Amino acid sequence: MQPSTPPFDERLTAPRSWWFIAFLIGIACALMLLPLGTLPMLAGLAGGAALSAAAVSSYGSARIRVVTDSLVAGDARIPLTALGKAEALDAEEARAWRSHKADTRAFMLLRSYIPTAVRVEVTDPQDPTPYVYLSTREPQALVEALNTVRA
């Protein structure tokens, strides 16, 4: 029997331009090692590109999932019973919640290259976290998935 697919699953991948920059870092490493010869130059290209690509991949590997009983955001697993109303934020409202409206106690899975987000209230009286802020490319779909699973 196949496990059921979660109602919402998104990986917050880094933009393509970041991958190009990772390649350029490899070229820069190669040029720095060029005076030492061809082999060190090739090693610098491979090593510099691989390390910077690993950094981009690691940063872009954050996932947001809604499963049967919880919201999984990055390394955090939040039970749906501890969550309240979910609100989809457009680019302007998301920017406001990332800056002047932000609460330092909030849990934020923030990616600056994703303009939209979802803000979910935390209703657990034992938890001092006022809300969860999640950058997402599909805010409406995430809100619908949260409402569907909680219903």
pLDDT for residue 67? 87
- Domain identity same for 131 and 100: yes
Question: What angle (nearest 5°) sits at the alpha carbon of residue 9, between those of residues 52 and 79?
Answer: 110
- The answer to whether position 111 is within a domain reads yes
pLDDT above 60 for 3: no
- Residue 67 covered by a domain: no
pLDDT band for 148, please (50, 70, 90 cuts). Answer: confident
Run of H or E including 113: none
pLDDT of residue 26 exceeding 80, the answer is yes
Report the candidate in 139, 150, 134 with the shortest Cα–Cα distance to residue 97. 134
Question: Cα–Cα distance between 23 and 29 in angstroms, integer?
Answer: 10
Q: How many domains does the chain have?
A: 2
The pLDDT assigned to 7 comes to 82
Q: Are 119 and 86 in contact (CB under 8 A)?
A: yes
Do 82 and 131 belong together in one domain?
A: yes
Q: Is the separation of the CB atoms in 13 and 135 below 8 Å?
A: no
CA separation for the pair 141, 148 (Å, rounded):
10
Give yes or no for residue 2 having a pLDDT over 50.
no
Give a yes or no: residue 3 inside a domain: no
Whether residue 136 contacts residue 64, with contact meaning beta carbons closer than 8 Å, is answered with yes
Per residue, what are the HEC states of 34-83? HHHCHHHHHHHHHHHHHHHHHHHHHHCCCEEEECCCEEEECCEEEEHHHE
Residue 35 belongs to some domain of the structure: yes
Digit-coded pLDDT (tens) for 72-117: 998 899 999 999 999 999 999 999 999 999 999 999 999 989 999 9
Average pLDDT across the chain, whole number: 91
**Single-letter amino acid code for the residue at 114:** I
Whether the model pTM is above 0.85: no
* Average pLDDT over every residue of 130-135: 95
Which has more pLDDT, 33 or 147?
Answer: 33
Q: Would you say residue 48 has pLDDT above 70? A: yes
